Amino acid sequence: MGDFNLPHIDWDPQGNYFTLSGISLSGAQINFVDTLAQCDLIQRSQNIREASGLPVYLSNMITHSVGNVVNDLIFGFKFPLEDKTWHWFRKIQEEGCHEMGVAGVVSFLPFVRFIYPSIQNTIKVLVRGQAQTHRLYPSIISRRRQILGLQTPEKAKYHEHANLFNEHPEGFIKCVKYSKHASNTEVHYFDPKVLIASEDKCILDNFLMEQKRRYENGEENALFMTDEQMYFLLADMFGAGLDTTSTTLSWYLLYMALYQEEQERVRKEIITVYPEECPVDSSKLTYLMATVCET
């Protein structure tokens, strides 16, 4: 069982090593990550200018921008800004993170889930969200396998998803919107062709190639590289990468708006150290990094 008594599976003792290796490989391409962030920042800046002085809801912009950098790094794809499934995916993640915080006591006192109906409802929300995101991942993984020219190893298949692509004539994925705040569920179908593919290697690519290698070599630890394992890994990395970063940025911008003398000092440091547009080494912006760390 996983946190909050959600269904989980045994994790590979090498899982952390593999994940860190994947991040390290992608991290070596630091200019690639910086470029992703800068391109999205430029787009968001243009959106703010186009607002012509009207109030701007930054939370959605930040979540979209950070989320797509995380998507590109982990999945090798981006979602279009107004894509319905992208909004649905983010909503599940946001509500799930909130519910985890509320139900944190269950990790320490598991019996509490049998006592309080509110916690039982919270766990239902988490389990439904998990089930829905685990239905979305196969469509992303399938497209990535097509790009890499890979087939799913027979023993790695998740048989509960055997008919997943048969729910729609064109193989679209059925997405159900559940929420404790809504009495009715909403259904739509996701076409994976709307995803914007990256040509750079992502963490998912590393997993798929390592999965292929282990199964082809008949390695005993190949059983830790199943598709089901992959769903949990992708969910953990996406959730942790998006929630922490977007929350930090949201609070940071709020503090900068409230304390304008600090904002001006940060601005002066940036234009002094980097008077012209170029790749940025954050270690040279000591005051900027100090303010981020204080957030």
Helices first, then strands: H and E counts in the chain? 10, 4
CA geometry: angle 117, 120, 125, nearest 5 deg: 130
Q: How far apart are CA 184 and CA 127, in angstroms?
A: 17
Q: What is the pLDDT of residue 208?
A: 95
Whether residue 150 contacts residue 215, with contact meaning beta carbons closer than 8 Å, is answered with: no
What are the boundaries of each domain within the chain? 3-258
E strand or H helix at 59, and its extent? helix 58-74
CA 253 – CA 261 distance, rounded (Å): 13
Give me the pLDDT at residue 157, please: 93
Q: pLDDT tens across 62-80, in order?
A: 888 888 888 998 999 999 8
CATH code, residues 3-258: 1.10.630.10
Strand 173-177, strand 77-78: pairing? unpaired
pLDDT digits (tens, 9 = 90+) for 2-36: 444 444 445 555 555 555 455 454 444 444 445 44
Considering the chain, what is the average pLDDT of its residues? 80
pLDDT of 182 reads 61
Phi-psi region of 230 (alpha: psi -120 to 50; beta: other; left: phi over 0): alpha
pLDDT at residue 18 in the model = 56
The pLDDT, as a whole number, for residue 1 is 38
Query: Could you tell me the pTM of the whole model?
Result: 0.77
What is the spatial distance between Cα 223 and Cα 12, in angstroms, rounded to a whole number? 9
Task: Show the beta-strand stretches assigned E in 179-269.
Answer: 186-190, 196-197
